[in-house]
Amino acid sequence: MSTPGETAGETVESAREMLPDNSFLIQYPHVSRVVRSLFLTAFVAFGIGAFMGVLQALHRTGIARIVESADYYTFLTLHGVLLAIVFTIFFLAGVFTWANTRSLDRPPVSKRFTWFWVVTMSAGTAMAGIAMLAGLLPSIDISADVLFTFYAPLQAHPIFYIGLAVFVIGTWLAGIDWFRQFLAWRREHPDERIPLQSFMVLTTMIMWFIATLGVAVEVVVFLIPWSLGIMPAPNPLLTRTLFWFFGHPIVYFWLMPAYLLWYTVLPKIAGGRLFSDPLARVVFVLFLLLSTPVGIHHQYLDPGIAEGFKFIAMTNTMFLLLPSLLTAFTVVASIEHGARQRGGTGYFGWLKALPWRDPAFTGMALAGLMFAAGGFSGMVNAGMNINYLVHNTLWVPGHFHLTVGTAVALSFMAGAYWLVPRITGRKLYSRPIGLFQVVLWFVGMVFMSAAMHRGGLAGIPRRTAEPQYPQVAFETVAGSVGSLRLQLAFGGVLLFVSALLFLMNVGLTAMNNKPARGLDSALPPALSGPEQSPTVLDNLKLWALIAVVLVILAYSLPLYSIVQGAGLYPAGQEASPAVIAPLLEVIA
Partner 1 sequence: MSRLSPASLLIVGAFMVPLFIELPVVLSFVGVNLPMEVSLGMGVVAFAMVLVWSEVSEKPEAADA
Residue number with CB closer to partner 1 (274 or 414): 414
Say whether 79 is catalytic.
no
Scan residues 354-413 and list those touching partner 1 (CB under 8 A): 356-357, 362, 366
Contact status: 450 vs partner 1 (CB under 8 A):
yes
Quick check: 477 binds partner 1 (CB under 8 A)?
yes
Are the CB atoms for 578 and 229 separated by under 8 Å? yes
Which of the 8 DSSP states describes residue 231? S
Any catalytic annotation for residue 16?
A: no
Interaction residues for partner 1, span 309-348 (CB under 8 A): none
Whether 391 is a known active-site residue: answer no
> Which candidate in 79, 157, 337, 463 is catalytic?
463
Position among 43, 447, 496, 555 found at the interface with partner 1 (CB under 8 A)? 447
- Determine which one of 59, 102, 281, 399 is catalytic: 399
User: From the centroid of its chain, how far is CA 73?
Assistant: 21
Which one among 154, 282, 380, 443 touches partner 1, defined by CB under 8 A? 443
CA atoms within 13 A on the CB side of 355: 20
Question: Which one-letter DSSP state was computed for residue 569?
Answer: S
Q: Which of 252, 253, 259, 309 is catalytic?
A: 252
Closest to 97 in 3D by CA, of 425, 408, 423 = 423
User: Is-catalytic flag, 30?
Assistant: no
Catalytic residue among 60, 248, 298, 422: 248
Q: Between residues 332 and 542, which has the closer beta carbon with respect to partner 1? A: 332
Stretch that binds partner 1, among 300-308, 375-383, 439-447, 561-569 (CB under 8 A): 439-447
Annotated catalytic, 337? no
Map residue 486 onto helix, strand or coil: helix
Q: What is the smallest separation between the CB atom of 373 and partner 1, expressed in angstroms?
A: 8
What letter does residue 305 receive in the DSSP assignment? Answer: S
Closer residue to partner 1, CB minimum distance, 384 or 439: 439
C-alpha dihedral, 76 to 78 to 84 to 87, nearest 10° = -150
* Adjacent-strand bridge partners of 393: 461
User: What is d(CA 327, CA 317) in angstroms, rounded to the nearest whole number?
Assistant: 16
Active site residue 263: no
Residues 6+ apart with CB under 8 A from 90: 38, 39, 41, 42, 45, 121, 125
Widest Cα–Cα separation across the chain:
85
Mask: binding to partner 1, 4-43, rule CB under 8 A, as x and -? Answer: ----------------------------------------
Q: Which is nearer to partner 1, 67 or 439 (CB)?
A: 439
- According to CB under 8 A, which one of 483, 513, 532, 556 is a site residue for partner 1? 483
Report how far residue 59's alpha carbon sits from residue 181's, in angstroms, rounded to the nearest whole number.
47
Identified binder of partner 1 from the candidate list 479, 518, 525, 534, rule CB under 8 A: 479
Does residue 474 interact with partner 1 by CB under 8 A?
no
Closest approach, Cβ 479 to partner 1, in A, equals 4
Q: Which is nearer to partner 1, 392 or 483 (CB)?
A: 483
436: contact with partner 1 by CB under 8 A: yes
Torsion sign across C-alpha atoms 565, 566, 572, 575: negative
Nearer to partner 1, 196 or 446 (CB): 446
Per DSSP, the residues of 142-211 read ----S-SS--TTS---HHHHHHHHHHHHHHHHHHHHHHHHHHHHHHH-TTSPPPHHHHHHHHHHHHHHHH
Residue 435 to residues 1, 287, 364, 430, 505, Cα–Cα distance (Å): 34, 31, 11, 9, 11
Q: Packing angle between helix 540-566 and helix 277-290, nearest 10 degrees?
A: 20
Among 102, 157, 298, 454, binds partner 1 (CB under 8 A): 454
**Catalytic residue (one of 297, 401, 422, 454):** 401
Report how many residues bind partner 1 under the rule CB under 8 A: 20
Between residues 123 and 486, which has the closer beta carbon with respect to partner 1? 486
Of 50, 435, 460, 551, the residue at the interface with partner 1 (CB under 8 A) is 435
Residues β-bridged to residue 426 = 515
Q: Does 274 bind partner 1 (CB under 8 A)?
A: no
Q: For the residues of 34-55, what is the DSSP string, one character each?
A: HHHHHHHHHHHHHHHHHHHHHH
Of 46-54, 150-158, 201-209, 480-488, the segment contacting partner 1 by CB under 8 A is 480-488
Q: Within 10 A of 345 (CB to CB), how many other CB atoms are there?
A: 11
In this complex, which beta carbon is closest to partner 1, that of residue 292 or of residue 393? 393
| Rounded Cα gap, residues 355 and 338, in angstroms | 10
Please report how close the Cβ of residue 330 comes to partner 1 at its closest, in angstroms. 23
Minimal distance in Å, beta carbon 454 to partner 1? 7
**Shortest approach of partner 1 to residue 225 CB, angstroms?**
49
Other beta carbons within 10 angstroms of residue 532's beta carbon come to: 11
Q: Which of 24, 275, 309, 400 is catalytic?
A: 400
In the chain, % helix, strand, coil (3-state, to 5) comes to 70, 0, 30
298: annotated active-site residue: no
Among 152, 420, 446, 562, indicate the residue that binds partner 1 (CB under 8 A): 446
Question: DSSP letters along 262-281, please?
Answer: IIIIHHHHTTS--SBHHHHH
Please identify every residue annotated as catalytic.
Answer: 248, 252, 399-401, 462-463
**Interface with partner 1 by CB under 8 A: which residues?**
356-357, 362, 366, 432, 435-436, 439, 442-443, 446-447, 450, 454, 477-480, 483, 487
